[in-house]
Structure 1
Amino acid sequence: MKKKANVIILAGFLGSGKTTLLKQLLSYEKEHKHKTAVLMNEIGKVSIDSDSVPEDVPLKELLNGCICCSLSDQLEKQLWGLCKENELDTLIIEATGVAHPIDVLDACLSPYLIDDLHVSGIISIMDAPRWLDRESMNVQARMLMLEQVKHADYIVWNKTSGLTEKEKTLLTSDTSRLNEDTPFVLTDFAKVDLSQLFSLSVKKRSDHQSVSADKLKVKTFIYSFKRPVNKELFENWLRNVPSSIYRIKGYIQFENQIYLFQYSYGLPTYEKELMKMPLRLVFIGEDLDPDQLTRGLSEVEVESE
């Protein structure tokens, strides 16, 4: 069975220090003789940071857009290419500074990639002075920074040497208030114990179980269908899913037709699929109950005649 590549998502606002941390991660991986690839995303038409990636490291770039919205489909193709072209131990995604962590995670959990990748965690690199001065920023920027802290599995509070003890205490308090029990560090130049970042490894689980480690704040769950699904029963079930489920994506069969199904912000979409695909759904959210999800979905499957 082919091993899965370990995915680390680097999130953080513009100029927070993501590329600085990326360089350290790549050096660490080289020392440990791991095969590592990088996917970088830039809002502009030209990549500024790609020169920081050594020539012997497989690199793919997504330019002129954000991987959590306009380039989501392209991200899946690029990730697929990196997996098929290389036998990877680690895949590092440096997202654009305006990317929402959950959207990046969602893009990584394509039905095409479930057997090739598992996500270790979201590492949020935060510009500490900017965070403390966030009230001077617009509402959208403040909300994005809040989400980057809230959904991180490890927080790097960067550029902290010039802060007072009171300000450092406030950062610690904000971490506990917004993302309880999440490991974090107050540092400069994105220096961190890199072994901690790689210890966020996802535990291997079978289908019908959570596939995320307990450390991960955002959980994922995979359900595999044994039979086609009754659409009316499925949509009745869908109306009652908890708000803690952010995304659902995968393939589902109604009668003799397979559909690519996606669910986001309470809105489902169906797209006819011409190829035979594995019938399974990937869930992303918080406080997922695998047993409850399994019971509900098993009840919408059509019994064999």
Structure 2
Amino acid sequence: MTDQQIPVTVLCGYLGSGKTTVLNHVLNNRQGLKVAVIVNDMSEINIDAGLVGAGANLSRTEEKLVEMSNGCICCTLRDDLLQEVRKLAKEGRFDYILIESTGISEPIPIAQTFTYEDTETGIDLRSLARLDCLVTVVDAYRFWHDFSCGETLLERGEASGEGDTRDVVDLLIDQIETCNVLLLNKCDLVLNEELDELEGVLRKLQPTAKIIRTQNGSIDPKEILNTGLFDFERVSTSAGWIKELQQEGHTPETEEYGISSFVYRRARPFHPERLAGFMGDWPEEVVRAKGLVWIAAKADLAASLSQAGSSIQFGPAGRWLASFSEEEQQEVFRSEPEILRRWDQVWGDRLNEIVFIGIDMNRPKVEKWLDRCLLTEEEMNLDWAVFHNPLPWISDEEYLAASMD
């Protein structure tokens, strides 16, 4: 970090969460900071920029409002963001850059803009700007409605394009699990008990971020400006499910409001058809689940399972280390010796390891349902390739091609 680096705060959050209101409040209480503002809007007309221009007391001679419209700064307008930040930083007349991202943007690609050299444009912002704080604004009033809606961004008319197939709930989870500060906004519209429960769930999903309750976007600017909080390594691994997996043993948690979590670990593969049946009748009390899955199938691959609300994503996630040659395994062991602590003499690193976070979860019942999906002793000795596999997977031809690479 150098004195020449201009600090940057990025506001993320789903549409309608109150990002613009937060931004205006901070700008009106910035205590003499000369601020450049970048407002990103998916529509052709940048409505949010108009609201910021009207609601914030920006000095036109000393400060600047940049509108980035008709695209998202985490994808289609990423090059434009790089160029705008470089331009603002080189002007040398601003103390700070505040960025309000569009409601459908994901935090990680935006953060990468400030932490890596862009190979396509050749722009490297690291010597010019530093990402100081990544903020996510959550609408306390509409959170559960959006979380459980089961809709895609395309169905809501909010997608970045026809190829944007993301579910609303997956976007919410991405924004919550990757931030330094989480602003729980519109708290005046929610009963205290419901608010406490929601905050408890958010704390499980994102255990490292600072959670601040707000009304009408009112917040002390010191909470999100010049904080020194951002660290890419920490923020990209701050999700609650990652923290659960890193624990050696399960730590008893507060059962207040029925919020709990556990890790399901079994050194035996799932029968693909029975697991598909479980996923088709997913327990409603499970809010979030994520982990690696071992499937009894011809393709000796790990699978990734990611669930949030009604959205379940499942698919191959690469080869198990145990399927590599002994020489390749030893090379990995030398660089990552901790793998050996959990290495099975027969099955190696093959393991089911899934984190479950929920409200009023009946852990024994969920574990019992999952245990029924595991192979029986008799099935363990059969040819796994004959099991019917309705799960999203790869063909035998693709598997053979991958094995030869």
Q: In the alignment, is residue 175 of structure 1 matched against residue 202 of structure 2? A: yes
Q: For each residue in 1:240-278, what CA deviation from the matched residue of structure 2 results, as whole angstroms up to 9, or x when unmatched?
A: xxx9xxxxxxxxxxxxxxxxxxxxx99xxxxxxxxxxxx
Rg bigger for which structure? 2
Deviates more, 1:159-168 or 1:114-123: 159-168
Partner of 2:135: 123
Partner of 2:37: 38
Q: For each residue in 1:167-215, what CA deviation from the matched residue of structure 2 results, as whole angstroms up to 9, or x when unmatched?
A: 112222112211113211222101123212225225xxxxxxxx8399x
Query: What code does the residue aligned with 1:50 have?
Result: A
Runs of 4+ in 1 over 6 A off after TM superposition: none
Partner of 2:95: 89
Query: What code does the residue aligned with 1:218 have?
Result: S
Give the C-alpha shift of residue 118 in structure 1: 0.8
Q: In the alignment, is residue 161 of structure 1 matched against residue 173 of structure 2? A: no
* 1:114 partner SS: helix
Q: In the alignment, is residue 135 of structure 1 matched against residue 134 of structure 2? A: no
Give the C-alpha shift of residue 59 in structure 1: 2.0
Partner of 1:152: 179
Of 189, 209, 218 in structure 1, the residue corresponding to residue 236 of structure 2 is: 218
Give the C-alpha shift of residue 70 in structure 1: 0.8
Partner of 1:259: none
Percent sequence identity over matched residues?
25
Give the C-alpha shift of residue 103 in structure 1: 1.4
Cα distance in 1 for residues equivalent to 2:38 and 2:106: 16
Q: How does 1:29-108 map to 2 (within 5 A)?
A: 29=30, 31=31, 33-51=32-50, 52-53=52-53, 54-56=58-60, 57-108=63-114
The change in CA–CA distance for 1:15 and 1:27 in structure 2 (over 3 A counts) is same
Cα distance in 2 for residues equivalent to 1:131 and 1:46: 27
* 1:161 partner SS: helix
Aligned pairs, number:
213
Query: What code does the residue aligned with 2:37 have?
Result: V
Give the C-alpha shift of residue 55 in structure 1: 4.7
Give the C-alpha shift of residue 95 in structure 1: 0.3
The change in CA–CA distance for 1:2 and 1:191 in structure 2 (over 3 A counts) is closer
Cα distance in 2 for residues equivalent to 1:137 and 1:21: 28
Cα distance in 2 for residues equivalent to 1:89 and 1:137: 42
Cα distance in 2 for residues equivalent to 1:198 and 1:152: 14
Query: What code does the residue aligned with 1:22 have?
Result: L
Give the C-alpha shift of residue 160 in structure 1: 1.7
Counterpart contact for 1:76–1:110, Cα < 8 Å: no
Q: TM-score, length-normalised on structure 2?
A: 0.49
Partner of 1:11: 12
* 1:76 partner SS: helix
Q: Which runs of 5+ in 1 are unaligned?
A: 203-210, 220-242, 244-264, 267-291, 294-305
Query: What code does the residue aligned with 1:212 have?
Result: D
Counterpart contact for 2:19–2:137, Cα < 8 Å: yes
* 1:198 partner SS: coil
Q: For each residue in 1:21-59, what CA deviation from the matched residue of structure 2 results, as whole angstroms up to 9, or x when unmatched?
A: 111221222x2x222111111101111122323252212
Cα distance in 2 for residues equivalent to 1:101 and 1:6: 17
Counterpart contact for 1:126–1:155, Cα < 8 Å: yes
The change in CA–CA distance for 1:160 and 1:2 in structure 2 (over 3 A counts) is closer
The change in CA–CA distance for 1:62 and 1:199 in structure 2 (over 3 A counts) is closer
Cα distance in 2 for residues equivalent to 1:143 and 1:159: 22
More strand by share: 1
Partner of 1:246: none
Query: What code does the residue aligned with 2:151 have?
Result: N
Cα distance in 2 for residues equivalent to 1:117 and 1:135: 38
Q: In the alignment, is residue 193 of structure 1 matched against residue 230 of structure 2? A: no
Q: How does 1:225-244 map to 2 (within 5 A)?
A: none
Q: TM-score, length-normalised on structure 1?
A: 0.64
Cα distance in 2 for residues equivalent to 1:146 and 1:213: 18
The change in CA–CA distance for 1:180 and 1:132 in structure 2 (over 3 A counts) is same
Give the C-alpha shift of residue 217 in structure 1: 2.2
